[in-house]
Amino acid sequence: MKIYTRVLYVKGENTVANIVLSRNGKDTPFAIHGKLHVEGSHLIDEKGQICELRGLSTHNLSTYPEYINEEAITQFTDEYGISIFRLALYSAEADDCKGYADGDDAHRADLEKLIVKGVEICAKLGIYALVDWHILFDYNPNMNADMSEHFWNTICPQLKEYDNVIYEICNEPNMDIKRQCDETSWEDITKYANRIIPVIRKLDSEKVVIVGTPTWSQRVDQAADAPLSFNNIMYTLHFYADTHREDLREKLRYALSKNLPIFVTEFGICNAAGDGDVNDEETNLWLKLLQENKISYVLWNLSNKNETSAILKDSCTKTAGFTEDDLSPCGQRFRTMMSKRY
């Protein structure tokens, strides 16, 4: 087994990050691509080649922490072929579980440990880890910007030595439907990014940072018209295939025409509520477009929640060692899509 070792001094302490390069006689995704950066509209590897990552996202780490275990992530790496695993840290309460921002100090510490555990497992498997500050129910990222800054100040020194890590700073800026508040604008997101990215860069200057876009990360066209001034960043597009169709694909094409680097950090093959039927036809159209443009993408979600977008049946109580019978229709479709091109 080959291991990539990086030694750094973090806060005066000698720290070592081991990222596995070879497993089961094969090079790992990290061995193939190494440390990533952004050039033009693409994610680029150490060899100067375009890197297209494909993977799976957790659900809310507060609600479903049990899936952050080595056996489960190993199975998705070895049997499904994922090259990236997304750790969705909800910033605000969801499903009656406190988020990072509205929980107490002990809860925040537990979530930080879970993030580090997930990253360490990914490093052991030689895949990439996407650390996601999951804006959703706190619809505007500026609402909890103080706590976001606290999180990145805390987590970046712990992850600095892991060259397999990518940061995502605001999952889905949106609007507070219950209170009929205005939708989060690109100007709002720009203000937030201009605050948070320098915090990250001061502590961890070389990692790729991904920024969400308005309307649940659909308005990449707005970002394309007024991109941020930072280097080594990408912009998020999210879609749910049964809801978001040609109109959103046109927004993606427009952003690409403006050379905007796009990363689909979350998508679903059902409707935007996470329910309804699996729409194979629209899913295929989306995947074909993403693959033609070498855009990385991550499926939502690893859980047994009673919704279409969960890859496990709600009757599945396992946390690893999943069989075909444990998979929902979404999970079965995910396994198929990881094994083919469109």
Determine whether 266 is an active site residue.
yes
From 168, 172, 282, 307, the catalytic residue: 172
C-alpha 302/C-alpha 311 separation (Å) is 6
The count of residues in the chain is 342
Q: Tell me the DSSP string of 157-220.
A: HHHTT-TTEEEES-S-----TTTTPPPPPHHHHHHHHHHHHHHHHHH-TTS-EEE--HHHHT-H
Q: Which of 56, 143, 64 is nearest to 97 (CA)?
A: 64
From 161, 168, 266, 307, the catalytic residue: 266
Tokens of 114: 């879970």
Measured in degrees and rounded to the nearest 5, phi and psi for residue 54 equal: -135, 135
Determine whether 120 is an active site residue.
no
Contacts of 43 (CB under 8 A, 6+ apart): 36, 37, 50, 51, 52, 53, 208, 234, 261, 263, 296
Q: What amino acid positions are annotated as catalytic residues?
A: 172, 266
